[in-house]
């Protein structure tokens, strides 16, 4: 199913920052020309924009140059931010010279504030601070130039404009920090997803390989003991070893094939490349459906054939389970039975699967050497850690430990979401 296109950005976010700067600056520059020069004379007048301020050709040329410089800076604001911001400030200064003023024109500086806000939001902190300091230096220069001849008369506008500059930097810096925090959260989530996937793969590899290696070791040892006295049994054990080994190898190939397919989905550029040889057969082979408690009987038969009889008890009304719960239940039983084969030194164990209304209970019990060293090592090994992680991911409860009188018990309670209309697959029974 093709992915739906992302929603369009709001109109205000689709306008480039350079266009915002140019619009604000140009409106602020054109407004006094229209109000104080082109419109008929009125009683009101402006000291910053005198009516005869643009009468000379030099003033008109300077104002045209200011428009050109600011337009160039606005066009370059996204590609060459630092240079473009400097051009906006230079154009603003030229505009004040064109009006023959020795102070900053407050309206034109609104465009500078917009550009500074973009600089602080997109550039490194040092660049933004440098741009802000340079802007405040320009304002301080105007004050100094007026103080040198004969002192400042009236209220200076530069301190108020400096306040707008600081506010623009604060707004841009807040946006920059929010973006950095969002990027950090995304990176952290991606790292957690990678870690969780690696743990999942490690659990699958451990559960698949550990059980098979345990069966292989048990059958190989039995074959070595009876190879001279009972060749037929030895041959049968070695056939089982071959069968289990091939099955394990096929499972590993399926898992690696799934991982390779996931890599191809994440890297679309490599999907057009044609695989050749053995890789082509692996990547295009269909994956086996996910296993679950339906394979429990086969697991019990394989382990029983290896010399450890597995008694499976079903309780409750058997019904279809969610895939993750079904797979987790089988893997827990598989790992627990593998630990019995490798460490318990017994010839049988019991597996109980109980279907309750809102949870699935899985229990594996043996009566082996519950206080032995091997059992204690099993309790703290990677097998039980993996089982505990599986249960925790499903918000279940997990317990494992030796019995006081000998033996070991592994139990897991997995919550099962109730679904109306689900028919039970079979009635409870014991075997």
Q: Is the dihedral of CA 55, 61, 65, 67 positive or negative?
A: positive
pTM listed for this prediction:
0.53
The low-confidence residues of the chain, meaning pLDDT below 50, are 1-4, 9, 11, 265-290, 370-380, 420-431
pLDDT confidence of residue 373: 42
Residue 48 CB coordination number (10 Å): 17
- Rounded Cα–Cα distance for residues 63 and 250 (Å): 79
- As given in the structure block, the two tokens for residue 327 are 């797979």
Cα separation, 67 vs 30, whole angstroms:
10
CA 293 from centre of chain:
32
CA distance 279 to 274: 10
User: What is the tens place of the pLDDT at every residue in 142-153?
Assistant: 888 887 766 555
- Measured at the CA of 273, the angle between CA 270 and CA 279, to 5 degrees, comes to 100
Q: Which of 91, 110, 118, 85 is nearest to 163 (CA)?
A: 110
Strands 348-355 and 359-366 come out as antiparallel
Half-sphere exposure (Cβ direction) of 147: Cα atoms closer than 13 Å: 9
> What is the model's pLDDT at position 340?
85
Distance CA 372, CA 269 (A): 55
Q: How many other CB atoms are there within 10 angstroms of residue 67's CB atom?
A: 19
DSSP 104-157: --TTTHHHHHHHHHHHHHHS-HHHHHHHHHHHHHHHHHHHHHHHHHH---S--S
């Amino acid at each position: 199913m093709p992915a739906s296109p992302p929603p369009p950005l709001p109109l205000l976010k689709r306008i480039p920052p350079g266009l915002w700067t140019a619009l604000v600056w140009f409106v602020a520059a054109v407004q006094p020309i229209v109000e104080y020069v082109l419109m008929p004379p009125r009683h009101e007048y402006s000291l910053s924009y005198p009516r005869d301020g643009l009468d000379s050709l030099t003033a008109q040329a300077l104002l045209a140059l200011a428009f050109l410089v600011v337009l160039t800076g606005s066009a370059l604001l996204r590609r060459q931010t630092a240079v473009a911001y400097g051009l906006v400030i230079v154009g603003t200064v030229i505009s004040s010279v064109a009006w023959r003023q020795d102070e900053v024109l407050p309206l034109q500086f609104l465009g500078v504030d917009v550009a500074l806000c973009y600089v602080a939001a997109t550039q490194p902190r040092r660049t933004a601070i440098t741009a802000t300091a340079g802007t405040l230096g320009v304002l301080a220069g105007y004050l100094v130039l007026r103080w040198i001849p004969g002192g400042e008369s009236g209220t200076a506008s530069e301190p108020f404009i400096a306040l707008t500059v600081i506010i623009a930097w604060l707004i841009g810096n807040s946006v920059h920090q929010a973006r950095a925090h969002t990027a950090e959260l995304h990176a952290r989530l991606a790292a957690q997803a990678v870690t969780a996937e690696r743990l999942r793969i490690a659990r699958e590899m451990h559960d698949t390989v550990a059980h098979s290696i345990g069966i292989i070791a048990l059958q190989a040892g039995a074959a070595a003991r009876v190879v001279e006295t009972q060749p037929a049994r030895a041959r049968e054990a070695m056939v089982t070893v071959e069968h289990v080994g091939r099955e394990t190898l096929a499972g590993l190939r399926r898992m690696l094939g799934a991982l390779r397919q996931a890599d191809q989905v994440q890297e679309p550029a490599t999907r057009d490349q044609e695989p050749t040889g053995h890789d082509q057969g692996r990547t295009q082979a269909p994956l086996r459906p996910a296993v679950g408690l339906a394979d429990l009987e086969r697991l019990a038969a394989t382990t029983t054939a290896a010399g450890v009889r597995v008694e499976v008890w079903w309780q409750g009304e058997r019904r279809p389970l969610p895939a993750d719960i079904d797979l987790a239940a089988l893997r827990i039983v598989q790992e627990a039975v593998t630990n019995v084969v490798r460490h318990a030194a017994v010839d049988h164990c019991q597996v109980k699967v109980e279907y309750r209304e809102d949870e699935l209970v899985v229990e594996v019990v043996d009566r082996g050497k519950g206080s032995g060293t091997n059992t204690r090592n099993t309790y703290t090994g990677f097998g039980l850690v993996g089982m505990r992680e599986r249960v925790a991911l499903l918000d279940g409860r997990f317990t494992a430990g030796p019995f006081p009188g000998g033996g070991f018990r592994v139990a897991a309670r997995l919550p099962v979401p109730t679904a109306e209309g689900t028919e039970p697959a079979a009635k409870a029974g014991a075997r």
